[in-house]
């Protein structure tokens, strides 16, 4: 979508996966990047029991003014799924013609740290959102300890194909 | 990022916003017991440099908070919705005594039960105890309303409930500070007020009248200058709402006229009456119980309730759209996701396998280990509330025929045991069933379910500093329990079935402590044990 679309409408992104995969961390990074870009943003997620290996998802919505923090079913512009097994579980969130971003798009062998699949998928998501790379980089660095910066910036670049 | 923070504009969760407000309010003591979705408030408060501590349970936390507020200090007490049940005893009477310093009690409700055993609507507690209640709808309001809550608490000398819900606690939204401006905290100082604080009947009778007078004043204040807002819109449809529901309403019915109530007890009834009269159709949209609806109807205000099916679970934009349309057709079932499970390698797994194999009747409790109910273990038969495993197990033992009674085992986690299992253990010794009883404490050295918090049994405080450590086995020994076994369920996996079989065969009281750190916490525990040298 173009910048003008993004400033006039709400963009809905759902990130889904299993507890422990970094779903919440990925949504933190996305929300932080769009916040840095100056948008109104809301991010919603569930903590607690589901984080023990169950299905987990997090919603990020941004635009000029966001009300509800939750993406309505079938309204996600982009759906990022971290686990192959969760694609069908999460698919009803995606709108017709929306972008599905899934692990098959990433060559995991190229990741220097396997745990940065979540950030690699954000790289793939970045191709659908008009946000400057430096905002993504700042958000990644703000969300992770310094020793993980290099591996995650690499993962982001692999996902984005840059 | 740093520039944004200097400008005072940041993206924060509701929980973080409450912590930020507590810091800005000069809160002298933050206390509570971990519980989703409230847990992070005190953790953030601690990380910001605020004085925060975990109590053994919510009742003790509130009592400590009351003491601080009697001293004239500002205190923040946090808990999940069911925690307020535990704290209800002091809650109802501190409403009578009132407070000197501001006392704000956070009740974090969990509509839809993302991680809870019920979806009780704690707005009912505000009415039952007679305490003002604020309901924020986003992080900005979580911040502003926390500060307002302290202002109200000090103006009317009454504790104030701040009711959060899962989607306010755990949603990140933009927070701009400074927001609401609160006067600086006064230093703590003891001023004797015996009739005000000693609730013998002679002093409690006038105290109840004082409370009702305060609430009457608060209702008038709420109507004239309360934190309520009207969004102009088409008079064809007016919606009265509060909290997170407001956000869904604005999106689902953008052209509606909306009355958003911030102080939901005591309600601004005249404001509601005028609003309802200004629109052709007036609908109440609220998550959970028909709280606003019933209050409006009692006041003779003609409003429409949501259909009963929307009382269950969370609201969202889609469901609010259906409420507005009066749509009661069945809702599409959500695609079933993968249920949670005990982590691979979790030390609880071995215990539940044995309980399953021995066909025990398992009286369970609240924590990660409640997942022992699911396959492949299917080894839990009851789970009611924190600490109930022991009492419920004893009740089963007392009444079942002996051959069944001898299969009953109570299973409780370490943090839950400290929270409210200790009195159950005393009951076990005081009224032992004829067949005896077997209690298993699953001691993984942390409060795992809520995100690895410390508790009195870990020997470390909220900030992980070393403190006195509660020994479960010494406690049980002092109570007179003779059969006490401490076993590492991973290192001595044969020990659990052996000891459990022996214990079940005796008509005596037995305590089995299955002790092994939670996998998720083990690394951090090791580091803390090395760096925290006991004094």
Residues 96-125 of chain A whose Cβ lies under 8 A from any Cβ of chain B:
none
Tokens of residue B65, six digits: 């908070």
Nearest CA in chain A to B111: A46
Beta-carbon separation of A19 and B248 below 8 A: no
B6 within some domain? yes
Residues 6+ apart with CB under 8 A from A55: A16, A17, A18, A19, A86, A89, A90, B337, B338, B339
Q: Please tell me the predicted confidence (pLDDT) of residue A8.
A: 53
Q: B292 and B276 in contact (C-beta within 8 Å)?
A: no
Q: How far is B138 from chain A (nearest CA, A)?
A: 9
B306 within some domain? yes
Q: Stretch B324-343: mean pLDDT, rounded?
A: 92
Place of tokens 């039960």: B113
Tokens of residue A66, six digits: 């966001």
Tell me if chain A has a CB within 8 Å of the CB of B453: no
Of A70-79, B4-13, B214-223, B525-534, the range with the lowest mean pLDDT is: B4-13
**Phi-psi label, residue B138: left if phi above 0, alpha if psi -120 to 50, beta otherwise:** beta
Tokens of residue B447, six digits: 């409060």
pLDDT single digits (tens) B418-436: 999 999 999 999 999 999 9
How far apart, in whole angstroms, are the C-alpha atoms of residue B307 and residue B283? 11
Strand B160-165 and strand B229-231: the pairing is unpaired
Residues of chain B with Cβ-Cβ distance to A50 below 8 Å are 114-115, 337, 340
Residue B234 has pLDDT above 50, yes or no: yes
Cα–Cα distances in Å, from B377 out to B226, B349, B362, B371? 53, 8, 11, 9
Residues of chain A with Cβ-Cβ distance to B4 below 8 Å are 35-36
Mean pLDDT over all residues of chain A?
92
How far apart, in whole angstroms, are the C-alpha atoms of residue A60 and residue A16? 11
Q: Are residues B61 and B173 in the same domain?
A: yes
Residues 26-65 of chain A whose Cβ lies under 8 A from any Cβ of chain B:
28, 31-32, 35-36, 40-55
Q: Are residues B77 and B171 in the same domain?
A: yes
Band (pLDDT 50/70/90 cuts) for residue B282 is very high
B363 within some domain? yes
Q: Please tell me the predicted confidence (pLDDT) of residue A52.
A: 83
Residue A6 has pLDDT above 50, yes or no: no
Q: Please tell me the predicted confidence (pLDDT) of residue B533.
A: 56
Cα–Cα distances in Å, from B61 out to B47, B408, B440? 19, 33, 26
Q: B77 and B31 in contact (C-beta within 8 Å)?
A: yes
Cβ-Cβ pairs closer than 8 A, A with B, add up to: 120
Q: How far is B335 from chain A (nearest CA, A)?
A: 6
Beta-carbon separation of A43 and B167 below 8 A: no
Q: Are residues B400 and B289 in the same domain?
A: no
pLDDT single digits (tens) B11-70: 999 999 999 999 999 999 999 999 999 999 999 999 999 999 999 999 999 999 999 999
Mutate to test the interface with A, among B167, B245, B334, B373 (most CBs of A within 10 A): B167
Closest Cβ opposite residue A85 in set B114, B332, B338: B338
pLDDT single digits (tens) A101-123: 999 999 999 999 999 999 999 99
Residues 359-418 of chain B whose Cβ lies under 8 A from any Cβ of chain A:
368, 370-371
Nearest CA in chain A to B343: A52
Q: Stretch B105-115: mean pLDDT, rounded?
A: 95
CATH number of the domain enclosing A115:
3.40.920.10
pLDDT single digits (tens) B376-405: 999 999 999 999 999 999 999 999 999 999
Q: Are residues B320 and B352 in the same domain?
A: no
Tell me if chain A has a CB within 8 Å of the CB of B336: yes
Counting Cα atoms < 13 Å in the Cβ hemisphere of B272 gives 31
Mutate to test the interface with B, among A18, A20, A59, A68 (most CBs of B within 10 A): A68
Q: How far is A31 from chain B (nearest CA, A)?
A: 8
Band (pLDDT 50/70/90 cuts) for residue B3 is very low
> Of B187, B207, B225, which residue constitutes the final position of a domain?
B225
More confident residue, B519 or A9: B519
Q: Are residues B391 and B432 in the same domain?
A: yes
Q: Are residues B385 and B525 in the same domain?
A: yes
Start-end of H helices in A47-102:
87-90
- When divided into structural domains, chain A yields a total of 1
- State ipTM: 0.93
Place of tokens 């159709």: B281
Beta-carbon separation of A51 and B340 below 8 A: yes
Q: Are residues B195 and B299 in the same domain?
A: no
**Domain region containing B370:** 348-531
- When divided into structural domains, chain B yields a total of 3
Beta-carbon separation of A138 and B1 below 8 A: yes
Beta-carbon separation of A142 and B1 below 8 A: yes
B333 within some domain? no
Q: Are residues B355 and B258 in the same domain?
A: no
Q: Please tell me the predicted confidence (pLDDT) of residue B167.
A: 97
B188 within some domain? yes
Closest Cβ opposite residue A67 in set B172, B250, B335: B250
B249 by DSSP, 3-state: which?
helix
**Domain region containing A77:** 3-160
Place of tokens 């409408």: A9
- Cβ-count burial A7-19 (b if 16+ within 10 Å, e if not): eeebbbbbbbbbb
Mutate to test the interface with A, among B141, B171, B229, B447 (most CBs of A within 10 A): B171
Residue B1 has pLDDT above 60, yes or no: no
DSSP state of B418: I
Q: Are residues B201 and B245 in the same domain?
A: no
Q: Are residues B193 and B279 in the same domain?
A: no
Closest Cβ opposite residue B172 in set A36, A43, A46: A43
CATH number of the domain enclosing B395:
3.40.50.970
Q: Are residues B189 and B49 in the same domain?
A: yes
Q: Are residues B242 and B208 in the same domain?
A: no
| Beta-carbon count within 10 A of B23 CB | 16
Residue B227 has pLDDT above 60, yes or no: yes
B519 within some domain? yes
Residues of chain B with Cβ-Cβ distance to A52 below 8 Å are 340-343, 368, 371
Nearest CA in chain B to A73: B318
Nearest CA in chain A to B251: A67
CATH number of the domain enclosing B315:
3.40.50.920
Closest Cβ opposite residue B341 in set A31, A40, A53: A53
Q: Please tell me the predicted confidence (pLDDT) of residue B534.
A: 52
């Amino acid at each position: 979508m173009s910048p003008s679309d993004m400033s006039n409408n709400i963009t809905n992104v759902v990130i889904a996966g299993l507890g422990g995969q970094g779903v919440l961390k990925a949504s933190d990074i996305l929300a932080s990047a769009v916040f840095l870009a100056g948008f109104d943003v809301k991010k919603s997620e569930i903590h607690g029991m589901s984080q023990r290996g169950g299905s987990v998802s997090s919603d990020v919505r941004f635009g000029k003014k966001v009300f509800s923090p939750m993406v309505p079913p079938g309204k996600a512009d982009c759906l990022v799924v971290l686990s192959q097994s969760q694609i069908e579980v999460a698919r009803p969130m995606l709108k017709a013609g929306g972008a599905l971003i899934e692990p098959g798009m990433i060559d995991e062998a190229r990741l220097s740290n396997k745990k940065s699949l979540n950030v690699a998928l954000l790289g793939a998501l970045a191709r659908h959102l008009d946000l400057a790379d430096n905002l993504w980089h700042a958000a990644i660095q703000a969300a992770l300890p310094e020793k993980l910066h290099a591996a995650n910036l690499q993962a982001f670049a692999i996902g984005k194909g840059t | 990022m740093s520039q944004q923070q200097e400008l005072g504009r940041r993206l924060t969760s509701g929980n973080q916003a409450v912590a930020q407000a507590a810091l800005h309010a000069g809160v002298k003591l933050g206390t509570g017991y971990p519980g989703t979705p409230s847990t992070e408030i005190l953790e953030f408060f601690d990380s910001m440099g605020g004085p925060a501590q975990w109590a053994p349970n919510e009742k003790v936390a509130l009592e400590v908070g009351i003491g601080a507020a009697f001293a004239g200090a500002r205190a923040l007490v946090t808990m999940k919705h069911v925690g307020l049940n535990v704290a209800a005893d002091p809650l109802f009477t501190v409403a009578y005594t009132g407070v000197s310093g501001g006392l704000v009690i956070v009740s974090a409700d969990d509509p839809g039960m993302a991680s809870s055993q019920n979806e009780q609507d704690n707005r009912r507690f505000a009415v039952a105890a007679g305490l003002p209640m604020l309901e924020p709808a986003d992080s900005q309001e979580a911040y502003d309303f926390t500060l307002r809550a302290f202002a109200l608490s000090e103006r009317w000398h009454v504790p104030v409930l701040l009711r959060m819900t899962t989607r306010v606690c755990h949603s990140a939204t933009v927070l701009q500070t400074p927001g609401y401006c609160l006067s600086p905290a006064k230093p703590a100082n003891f001023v004797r007020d015996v009739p005000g604080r000693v609730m013998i009947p002679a002093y409690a009778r006038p105290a109840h009248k004082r409370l009702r007078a305060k609430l009457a004043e608060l209702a008038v204040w709420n109507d004239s200058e309360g934190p309520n807002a009207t969004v102009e819109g088409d008079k064809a449809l007016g919606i009265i709402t509060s909290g997170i529901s407001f956000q869904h309403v604005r999106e689902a019915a953008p052209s509606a006229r909306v009355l958003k109530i911030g102080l939901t007890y005591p309600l601004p009834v005249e404001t509601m009456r005028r609003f309802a009269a200004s629109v052709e159709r007036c609908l109440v949209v609220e998550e959970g119980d028909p709280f606003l609806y019933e209050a409006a109807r009692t006041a003779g205000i003609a409003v429409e309730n949501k259909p009963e099916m929307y009382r269950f679970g969370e609201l969202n934009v889609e469901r609010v759209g259906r409420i507005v349309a009066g749509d009661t057709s069945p809702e599409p079932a959500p695609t079933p996701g993968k249920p949670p499970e005990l982590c691979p390698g979790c030390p609880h797994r071995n215990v539940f396998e044995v309980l399953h194999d021995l066909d025990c009747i398992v009286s369970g409790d609240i924590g990660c280990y409640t997942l022992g109910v699911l396959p492949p273990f299917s080894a839990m038969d009851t789970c009611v509330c924190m600490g109930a495993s022991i009492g419920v197990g004893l009740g089963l033992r007392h009444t079942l025929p002996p051959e069944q009674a001898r299969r009953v085992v109570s299973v409780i986690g370490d943090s839950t045991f400290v929270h409210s299992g200790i009195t159950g253990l005393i009951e076990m010794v005081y009224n032992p069933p004829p067949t005896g009883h077997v209690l298993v404490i699953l001691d993984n050295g942390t409060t795992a379910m809520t995100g690895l918090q410390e508790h009195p049994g870990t020997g470390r405080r909220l900030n992980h500093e070393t403190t006195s450590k509660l020994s479960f086995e010494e406690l049980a020994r002092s109570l007179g329990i003779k059969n006490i076994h401490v076993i590492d369920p991973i290192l001595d996996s044969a020990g659990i079935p052996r000891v459990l079989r022996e214990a079940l065969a005796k008509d005596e009281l037995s305590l089995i402590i299955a002790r092994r750190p939670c996998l998720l916490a083990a690394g951090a525990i090791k580091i803390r044990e090395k760096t925290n040298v006991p004094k």
